[in-house]
A and B are shown apart, each in its own frame.
Chain A
Amino acid sequence: MAELCAVIGVGQTNFDANRIDVSMPGLLREAALRALEDAELTWADIDAVVVGKAPDMFEGMMLPENYLADALGATGKPLLRVHTAGSVGGSTANVAMSLVSAGLHERVLTISFEKQSESNAMWALTLSPPFSVSVVAGAGGFFAPLVRTYMHRSGAPEDTGIRVALKDRLNALKNPYAHLKMPDISYEMIRDSMMLWDPIRYLESCPSSDGACAMILSNEKLAERTPRKPAWVHGSSMRSEPVQFAKRDAVNPMSGRMAAQDLYSQAGIKDPRKEIDCIECYVPFSWFEPMWMETMGFADEGEGWKLTLDGTTALDGSRPVNMSGGVLSSNAIGASGMCRYAEAANQVRGEAGEHQVAGAKKALGHAYGGGSQYFAMALFGAEKP
């Protein structure tokens, strides 16, 4: 019988375009120490460390976890390094959860990061690999056709993406860690910003950030003794599918739908629309909010955009999405998935500060990566499962 697992500490760095004030180890320690402080623990209390980040080329360093072992307090302990493309922040936490639920460790530190200013992510994404066609357009170039297909299929109003971006940028003003804070943001500003990858505008896109996110996970026995309220893990799921496969639907991927169904079945959720209070999901380009709402079953196919337009996903709506400002406001790629989990966990702990959703009992954290083909999700509850 698997052990119960809970999040008992959360820590995030301040996100910025260039955290020149800290080294890579310094950045990780900022997040890890905040998580330890939140859980009122020290390094000695940690049994194992699971670290995640996206491609090593984003920092220009090979297998950096070995170099970071001391900074993560991992010396003499087990250290795992996860990399599952953009979903890595989520899947790293999932791996850490499995160490606890398998009964192998009592307390695990899980942390993920990206320090993009060390290298150049745009360069790292625009290599010409041998024997292959070079994709020189960056992530937006890959995803823009998927957004265009979604618009065509759903008939969504052309300004849905602008409205998502406006909501998330306003939410970010309430998040002390957010990278992009634009107090004078408006619908017109986003609409008039440069078209980068038609139909995705500059202000509908995520920034490139430096930052890290950490969580302390524990088993049931230790979670019951923790000074602050724990967030109980009700389920965690991962699914992957191939990128080059004519049969796949990259707009509403089967792997995403299966991961959500697996999550709901683990958590005993029959109707996610009624039972889940709020969602932090991976939206690097504004239009992915309505797309993921459909994939995860919060709207029927072709109707996800209505949740944005009728205010359901707003901070004061009936089922808020990306209360923290989301990936549109901070995108330290490797950390982004774990930020979604950490923000969801903090909602059910009642620790989300100014962007707290009153009375949130169940919150979903979501991450995706690759060519919309890697999915990681977790459901957090205020009560034990």
Chain B
Amino acid sequence: MRDVAIISFAQSNIEDDIRSEVEILQPVAAEAVKQSGMARTDIGFTCSGSSDWLQGQPFAFVMALDAVGSWPPIKESHVEQDGAWALYEAWVKIQTGEVESALVYSFGKTSPGDITQVQALQTDPYCVTPLWPDLDSITGLQARACLESGVVTETQMAEVASRSMRDAMNNPHAVRKADRSPEDLLGEPYRVSPLRDHDCPANSDGATVMVIASAELAREHSRRPVWIRGFDHRIDPPALGVRDLTQLPSAATAAEKAGVAKDKIDFAEVTAPYSHQEVLLRNALGLSDDLKVNESGGSLAAHTLMSCGLNRIGDAAMRIAAGNGDRAVAHAGQGPCLQQNLVVVLEGE
């Protein structure tokens, strides 16, 4: 494998951003390119992740090309997945030896619609979608299964939410921040039993941009390159009745293939849009109970759909780049009840 490093990262998450996706993306892209120290035209490959459905029109990603610079014509691709998978495709492209660097970006704007209702469209279109189960309700079933099997307790869920919202007070990109105790949170009413508002994602509009480069370029352009040491992603079956919802086997496989357990980990950033999912991910990724997870506040503090996974990876990378840790795990997840999972192991120079 070729050594590839993250050399710059920028993001924007705003609760109800009045700007269009292109307007949100453009300054973030400009900032990431500037931070990288590379000229836009010197970056060899461009890859993005987004969902047409959020924008309410087909080919939604096409206009984004104008925001990131695509003249003269660029080598470019797009996944209809979280930006973390765009990062994977870009990393693969550098592995082929065809390019030495890549611009990776993603964006999502969910404020114009009712996103939990919209995500019912991810289910089986013949047998499940007609029942229109919203995502909060689907995930409520998972949380209930976890409580009943003893994998998670309601107190643990409140602790995750309390800690995330408190950590978020130090994160300028977080949209939900509060200093509230778990006991206090447990007094809140249910949104969808057993989920309370703070157990559910803090939906935001935003964009995320990252520049990655092969070894020589990375050392030239970064004071402390953050190396991608392991990278894998897997998917579980779609039918909720087929899965044991208290387990995430695809996350466990991805963690094993990415080599999470090979060495000591300093911290982790995981995509857990619902509080109980952080516990499931700790179990699946083999993270110890006392490991610091989601100092950013995670998705409970800012959840830009299609960008949140790439945000977790970028947040982890920037903390390593700043010298606050040497080895970290970053995770992206998507699909109902975290059906698809991606794991990256990052190490400082």
Contacts and interface: CB of A to CB of B under 8 A. Distances in A.
A1 B97 contact: yes
Interface string B217-259: 0000000000000001111111100100000011001000000
Given A57-B58, A254-B73, A77 B235 contact: yes
A200 to B, nearest CB: 21
Nearest to A67: B238
A67 B98 CA distance: 33
B20 A131 contact: yes
Interface stretch (B31-39, B61-69, B207-215, B313-321): B61-69
Interface string A58-75: 111111111111100011
B148 interface: no
Most buried by B among A59, A98, A373: A98
Contacts of B253: 76
Contact of B70 (A23, A79, A240): A240
Given A63-B335, A75-B235, A239 B125 contact: no
Interface in A246-260: 247-248, 253-255, 258-259
Contact of B51 (A62, A95, A99, A370): A62
Contact of A98 (B53, B93, B238, B334): B93
Contacts of A60: 121, 125
Interface string B47-67: 000011101111101110110
B165 to A, nearest CB: 28
A63 B122 contact: yes
A94 B159 CA distance: 45
A70 B59 contact: no
A124 interface: yes
A196 interface: no
Contact of A76 (B51, B76, B85, B234): B234
Contacts of A23: 126
B270 to A, nearest CB: 19
A78 B93 CA distance: 16
A241 interface: yes
Contacts of B20: 131
A242 to B, nearest CB: 5
B77 A95 contact: yes
A95 B77 CA distance: 9
A24 B88 CA distance: 27
Contacts of A240: 46, 65, 70, 73-76
Contacts of A241: 65, 70-74
B256 to A, nearest CB: 12
Nearest to A129: B57
Contact of A104 (B74, B95, B235): B95
Given A1-B97, A118-B125, A55 B59 contact: yes
Interface in B117-134: 118-119, 121-126, 129
Number of chain B interface residues as a range: 35 or more
A254 B235 CA distance: 38
A85 B249 CA distance: 33
B299 interface: no
Contact of B77 (A75, A91, A253): A91
Interface string A239-282: 11111110110000111001100000000000000000000000
A7 B137 CA distance: 44
Contact of B66 (A57, A124, A242, A254): A242
Interface in B86-114: 88-89, 92-93, 95-98, 112
A244 B76 contact: no
A148 to B, nearest CB: 23
A69 B238 contact: yes
A242 B64 CA distance: 9
B311 interface: no
B237 A238 contact: no
Q: Which 7 A-B pairs have the closest CB atoms?
A: A55-B58, A102-B95, A255-B73, A62-B121, A240-B76, A66-B335, A241-B73
Interface of A: 1-2, 23-24, 54-70, 74-85, 91, 94-95, 98-99, 101-104, 118, 124-125, 127, 129-132, 237-245, 247-248, 253-255, 258-259, 370-371, 373-374
Given A2-B98, A78-B234, A238-B76, 8 more contacts: A56-B53, A61-B121, A64-B122, A64-B125, A83-B61, A98-B95, A241-B71, A242-B70
